[in-house]
Structure 1
Amino acid sequence: MKIKLITIGLGVIWSGMMMSCDKDFLDRPSEDQVEAPFFFNTAKDLEVATNDFYSAFSRNSDEKEWTDSYTDDAGSDNLMPLNPAAKVRGSRVVPVARGSGGWNWDDLRKINYFLINYHKVKDEAAKAKYGGIARFFRAYFYYDKVKTFGDVPWYSGVLDAKDPELYKARDSRTLVMDSVMADLDFAIANIPAEKQVNLITRYTAMLLKARVALFEGTFRKYHGLEDADKYLTLAATAAQDLITSNAYTLYTEGGAENAYRNLFARNNQDNIETILAIDFELGLKVHSLGSSFTSATQGSYGIPKDLVNSYLMRDGSRFTDKANYKTMGFLDEMKNRDPRLTQTTAGPDFKVIGESKNEPVNLSITTTGYRLIKALPDRSQWATSGAYFDIILFRYAEALLVFAEAKAELGTLTQADLNISINKLRSRAGMPNLDMAQANANPDPYLLAMYPNVKGMQGVILEIRRERRAELFNEGFRWDDLMRWKEGLKVNQPIVGVYFPGVGAYDFTGDGQPDVFVHTGSTAGAPSSVTSMVNIKQRTLWDPITGQQGGNSGNIDPFPNRGGFREDRDYFAPIPSEELLLNRSLKQNDKWDE
């Protein structure tokens, strides 16, 4: 029997005790003195309390649901939904209500209350384990706050409503992030080194430390802050410790043509590569990702052309070195590419999981013409609230990417480092190894235009970023990556889709029969084999050569207004105005008070 990520019922007592209050209760009086003695007495009490902390994975600065880690990229340049996110449009505004916009401290108060009281339990092993888990979640909480707002107040206790600390100014980023590192070190030292797919373990803490330190190190490097190398070194070391533990490896079932897709589409995750996943079960806990991935009226998620361009050819050469890559049709651009491309978007031979016949081409369920299939389950799970495949939160592949990137940004990367990291991922995909000397000698001009701020070992850093984008696509990392690399302006570049040279019929599957008919309002003359219509008066085109919009040739252009990211403002979110009125020591993030 699998252990649930959230054990149903265990958190009821704790949640009731801690949440019978208004939304933002960091400033509520301390809990009744009677409650702690009656609750924090056994190892089971500690388990009950920490089980409630797992809700952090479904509730962060954007009030996420359990499944949003698989749709978070829609708030970036990686995935275009029907309605682009406000942060991509540049239309975020200062929130008003206290505790809104991510400035919410509910979870922290529960964690700190636990840390003040859990020492009463006499079971030393239980105290070490659950104390470590609590500090893992405090680190996770503050990591999210720093990513979102920059400097924030550090609170390590439960504050009384009259405590002056409640209304203090923000603490320095360094103080907060060093405290996060200390929490993660405690978690790594005290949580058992078990392999539990649905529970926090030492390995989860190791990967979170690597993730956080990489974010902080690269953010500091590219935003001109001190101590970048300190955090990059911590990232490389944490990732290497996980790698050399030999606890995990890459999932390879199905071979290069299927393993990557199979990893995400399984109903039940195992502990080969997956370190932590949210468990869903038919009849007990379900979600609607199958529906949102296949509905024309929900997400209609579309993969952008520049991501498709970024995938290498199967022989390791660059697709964008081809003279006609900008105007290449769908069928030709899908040939002989990195196998992960057609395990991420529907290619010419796309088959639904568990079926033997090709799925008909359907461009009505994708904004760009490149349909999302990563993590798409079998057809039986496509109904609303009908999906029950597990959702991965932490997996071993990330450690390989963190290790390589941190070492490259430090300038200490070697070919041997690549061979135990990036080249393991490429091997799983059936791709040639990345050669560091070749990459540095010939940086990709296409990627350099995408990431103009890159510093140091340009060539190999660009290749690692290519690998990261392909491998971690739609797992919720992309916005954070652009923020830490200081490449927010990337979302203002055209986010477009499939190229059509003009009106007419097109074969997307290679069987000699047209599948798509492009027209200007009349479908007369469409071949009977066509399964998808594109009206370019409604779905306008963008010419990649001239940059003109609205013509009869070009890429599908679902977002013609383009992104509105502001370099002087949008790397941090605004603090709610009510919070600034209540705490005069807080100052609004730059340019949000204009």
Structure 2
Amino acid sequence: MKKLNYILIVYVALLSASCNKNMLDTTSKDQIDANNFFNNATDLQVYTNGFYEIFPTYLIWTDDATTDNMIPLNVADRVKGARIVPASNAGTNWTWGSLRSINYFLENYQKCPDEAAKLKYGGIAKFFRAYFYFDKVKMYGDVPWYGKVLEANDPELYKARDSRKLVMDSVLDDINFAVANIPKEVQLTSITKYTALMLKARICLFEGTFRKYHALGDHEKFLNEAASAAEEMITLGAYKLYTAGGANSCYRDLFARNDQDVTETILARDYNPTFGRHGLSYLMTAPTAGVYGICKDAIDSYLMKDGSRFTDQPGYKTMGFYEEMQNRDPRLTQTTPGPNWTAYKETSPEPVNINISTTGYRLVKALATKDQWASNNSFNDIIFFRYAEALLIFAEAKAELGTLTQADLDKSINKLRERVGMPFLDLVTANGNPDPYLEAMYPNVDQGSNKGVILEIRRERRIEMFNEGLRWDDLMRWKEGKKLEKPMIGMYFPSLGSFDFNNDGKTDVYLHNGNAGGAPPGTSSIVNVNQKRLTDGTSGNFNPMYSTPCKFDETKDYYYPIPLQEITLNPKLDQNPNWK
């Protein structure tokens, strides 16, 4: 957030105090004395400003590299199926310090005589408590619900986990209070009614589909709430899709520009050369850092420009790079470099460089100008919530409920397609001819009459929200963890030797198995397949997972394990199933 959000942060130093479960049973030495604080709107604003630190950093935009969307240089344990029960909560999400601070505020803010301020900042506090608990439930399922500050002798301190139903009903109460009471303002870096509506829609879509596909029951309530919140965002009309620059550049520009505006962006973390930089562009361009490679099944999911399926094309699995990039959804070459790719704000094409990608398909969505590619030198803002997600949530919730109409598609999914000049999604056609490629990708999808359109909405979501930190949650809520066991491969090459990536008659990529002597002068990417393996030895697809077979255990891996130390401290805490 902007520096403005942290003015007088010294008054809320408690937020950075020990972030472990013991925070629940100790009184912080930095705790504000309620007798001398919470007296006016400024006090409430100052205190709640500290809650913004709960939001993730720019690293939320690296989360897709720990899913099936991208493979980094170092594969994440959750992708490999190699997570273990941690000994302590250090480095885990089983921490509670932020919750104590939120609850302390909620126990004391009512002493302020300013009624409007109490509604606004009370709503903001409940927004953050909903955000906090949503994050916990996604990872751990049932968790203890603490709606008050706990002291050392409180009998609730070491209680058992509360049911998911109780916790999520409480989360829904909190976010509904936030929606009802935070003012309807358009603010780029502050929580508003619109931010609360977006969080509500995201929470309820997750919970509704998780309950549906994991057979927990009562999914319709949350799906209806998701559809309602997203539709309210649409109806209020405060935001629209960013279209400046046209279909062939607006999607890229939205993320690569330095400063966000409030056209489509609802909430962003503000970075600036003078007070805050990050390392996202470095991770996309350094040969020894992220080395992110987009998986081929994600590349293959992008439609043809005429709306037909790329995976219906003859020989799509073995197409060369230049051919597979032709006449596709414009978002494809605004996410990964196409032929003759030009860096943001540059005029000359960049040399082909597939050495900095595990799969050959580089990531360039949100890649800033070249002067920001050095380590920790980026300052383009990072988006947390944007209007496009509301459109996707609305369509998916309605489709999963079985109430989706063509009119619903036209005001949601088809707005996204219109932005990039793609043909509209037709409800009858989609349901009449489900895509077999997507059916194989998502075997657990609803098998009813809306199967085809649900699959198409999932395609749209994966493409539109690519690398924005939502993919893992999507796989978990759809009960599609086994998707991680499917091959995560990259570009296809029929042999070793020379390859022309931009159809200009010159070699851009040269593959060899130990002798690079045959590479023509000027070749920009010389690749040793002994290091970047091919599926068939001297031909096939790049195979970054050749030595890392992935496994997803359906009996346990939809949740994270609770740290052993926490179970020792509180014997009433049960470990998640099958974690030992």
* TM-score normalised by L of structure 1: 0.95
Map 1:88-237 onto structure 2 (within 5 A).
88-98=79-89, 100-237=91-228
2:34 paired residue number: 36
Counterpart pick for 1:13 among 11, 14, 18: 11
Does the alignment pair 1:477 with 2:470? yes
What is the deviation of 1:43?
Answer: 1.1
1:486 paired residue number: 479
Indicate the RMSD between aligned Cα atoms, in angstroms. Answer: 1.4
What is the deviation of 1:29?
Answer: 3.4
Counterpart pick for 1:552 among 538, 549, 555: 538
Structure 1 residue matching 2:5: 3-state secondary structure: coil
Flag the 1:489–1:425 CA change in 2: closer, same or farther, 3 A.
same
2:285 paired residue number: 294
The Cα offsets for residues 245-303 of structure 1, whole Å up to 9 and x where unpaired, read as 00100000010000000000111100000000000110211111111110010001111
1:584 paired residue number: 571
Q: Which letter does structure 1 place at the counterpart of 2:24? A: D
Partners of 1:492 and 1:436 in 2: CA distance: 31
2:51 paired residue number: 53
Partners of 2:181 and 2:188 in 1: CA distance: 18
2:302, 2:328 within 8 Å by CA — same for their partners in 1?
Answer: yes
2:523 paired residue number: 530
Partners of 1:420 and 1:34 in 2: CA distance: 48
The alignment-based identity, stated in percent, is 58
The Cα offsets for residues 431-473 of structure 1, whole Å up to 9 and x where unpaired, read as 0000010000100000000000000311000000000000000
Partners of 2:17 and 2:572 in 1: CA distance: 29
Map 1:397-408 onto structure 2 (within 5 A).
397-408=388-399
Q: How many residue pairs were aligned? A: 576
Map 1:201-280 onto structure 2 (within 5 A).
201-280=192-271
Structure 2, unmatched stretches of 5+, are: none
Q: Which letter does structure 1 place at the counterpart of 2:564? A: S
Flag the 1:302–1:20 CA change in 2: closer, same or farther, 3 A.
closer
After alignment, is 228-237 or 96-105 more displaced?
A: 96-105
Does the alignment pair 1:572 with 2:559? yes
What is the deviation of 1:144?
Answer: 0.3
After alignment, is 554-563 or 496-505 more displaced?
A: 554-563
Counterpart pick for 2:66 among 72, 75, 78: 75
Partners of 2:558 and 2:149 in 1: CA distance: 30
Partners of 1:588 and 1:37 in 2: CA distance: 41
Partners of 1:268 and 1:450 in 2: CA distance: 37
Structure 2 residue matching 1:392: 3-state secondary structure: strand
Partners of 2:281 and 2:563 in 1: CA distance: 35
What is the deviation of 1:117?
Answer: 0.6
What is the deviation of 1:366?
Answer: 0.7
1:63 paired residue number: none
Counterpart pick for 1:26 among 23, 37, 48: 23
Partners of 2:417 and 2:3 in 1: CA distance: 31
Q: Which letter does structure 2 place at the counterpart of 1:499? A: Y
What is the deviation of 1:98?
Answer: 4.1
Map 1:267-346 onto structure 2 (within 5 A).
267-346=258-337
Structure 1, unmatched stretches of 5+, are: 59-65, 543-549
What is the deviation of 1:79?
Answer: 1.1
Flag the 1:218–1:581 CA change in 2: closer, same or farther, 3 A.
same
Partners of 2:477 and 2:376 in 1: CA distance: 35
What is the deviation of 1:10?
Answer: 2.7
Counterpart pick for 1:562 among 518, 535, 549: 549
1:361, 1:532 within 8 Å by CA — same for their partners in 2?
Answer: yes
Counterpart pick for 2:423 among 432, 440, 450: 432
Partners of 1:556 and 1:570 in 2: CA distance: 27
Q: Which letter does structure 2 place at the counterpart of 1:332? A: E
The Cα offsets for residues 521-543 of structure 1, whole Å up to 9 and x where unpaired, read as 1111211131001111111111x
After alignment, is 526-535 or 302-311 more displaced?
A: 526-535
The Cα offsets for residues 193-221 of structure 1, whole Å up to 9 and x where unpaired, read as 00000000000000100000000000000
What is the deviation of 1:99?
Answer: 5.7
Map 1:383-422 onto structure 2 (within 5 A).
383-422=374-413
Runs of 4+ aligned residues of structure 1 deviating over 3 Å after TM superposition are 17-26, 29-34
2:19, 2:96 within 8 Å by CA — same for their partners in 1?
Answer: no
2:453 paired residue number: 460
* TM-score normalised by L of structure 2: 0.97
Q: Which letter does structure 2 place at the counterpart of 1:93? A: I
The Cα offsets for residues 446-504 of structure 1, whole Å up to 9 and x where unpaired, read as 00000000003110000000000000000000000000000001111111111000011
What is the deviation of 1:31?
Answer: 5.7
Partners of 2:94 and 2:454 in 1: CA distance: 34
What is the deviation of 1:354?
Answer: 1.2
The Cα offsets for residues 149-191 of structure 1, whole Å up to 9 and x where unpaired, read as 0011111000011211011111111111111111011001110
Partners of 1:52 and 1:364 in 2: CA distance: 42
The Cα offsets for residues 87-119 of structure 1, whole Å up to 9 and x where unpaired, read as 001111101114652111111111000100111
Partners of 2:481 and 2:558 in 1: CA distance: 7
1:547 paired residue number: none
What is the deviation of 1:5?
Answer: 6.8
2:159, 2:570 within 8 Å by CA — same for their partners in 1?
Answer: yes
What is the deviation of 1:7?
Answer: 2.5
1:495, 1:562 within 8 Å by CA — same for their partners in 2?
Answer: no
The Cα offsets for residues 329-388 of structure 1, whole Å up to 9 and x where unpaired, read as 111000000000000001102101111111000111111100110000000101112111
1:5, 1:198 within 8 Å by CA — same for their partners in 2?
Answer: no
Q: Which letter does structure 1 place at the counterpart of 2:539? A: S
Structure 2 residue matching 1:518: 3-state secondary structure: strand
